[in-house]
Amino acid sequence: MAREKIKIKKIDNVTARQVTFSKRRRGLFKKASELAVLCDAEVGLIVFSSTGKLFEFCNSSTKDMITRYNQYSHAINQQDRPSLELQLENGNNCKLSKEVAERTQQLRRMKGEDLQGLNLQELQQLEKLLEKGLGRVIDAKENRLMSEITALQKKGMELEEENKKLKQKTGMLCRGITQVPAVESSDIGIQEEGISSDSMTNVYSCSSGPPLDDDSSDTSLKLGLPYSSCNGKL
């Protein structure tokens, strides 16, 4: 007589459900033991009943098998992580590429290029944007000009001050040059004070003597008349 198949669904009767759980659990553990022996595999089972009771089966050590399972899961996650990071990086690259394309098109439109696909409202918005940009450019240019003018004025004042100092130095040098001859003449006068009046008279008499080529000296010699020499002798 053929055995009737049981429909796979939750058993409503609590007693029948508990009996079925016990039978199926023993059969499951038996099949797991056969699998471990026939295939030389490490098999571990952990079952909790509906009442929360724990049943386990392992052909080696349940704790060692759980530790090995955790290590294997961690290694799998580490291997899958680069692929996930690569996917995120590819997504960011696509986003950045799209943004660069939009900015490039906007820049071309601000230059007056590629305006065919714009409607009237978009053209007006572009015009307002250009006007704002032009105003900022004008303000920046004015600020730069004012700063340059201020710097030039400051430099001009510094040059004027330096020019005044140079004029003062030049005036002092000119006054020093004019005072040098007076000092030298005074030194000469001091040196001349040490010379006696007789010496000066002799020097003057020697210097004031008649020249050798004078005609009056020749006439005196011819007539036998005496004349004064530098030493006062005939």
pLDDT the model gives residue 104: 86
Residues of the chain under the 50 pLDDT cut: 182-217, 219-225, 227-234
pLDDT the model gives residue 234: 37
Question: What are the residues whose beta carbons fall under 8 Å from the beta carbon of 176, sequence distance 6 or more?
Answer: none
Q: Which residues of 20-45 are buried (b: 16+ CB within 10 A; e: fewer)?
A: ebeeeeeeebeebeeebeeeeeebbe
pLDDT the model gives residue 183: 46
pLDDT the model gives residue 1: 55
Annotate 150-197 with DSSP letters as a single string: HHHHHHHHHHHHHHHHHHHHHHHHHHHHHHHHHHHHHHHHHHHHTS-H
Q: Which amino acid is at 231?
A: N
CA separation for the pair 219, 223 (Å, rounded):
6
pLDDT the model gives residue 146: 93
Tell me which residue of 81, 82, 129 sits closest to 107, measured CA to CA: 129
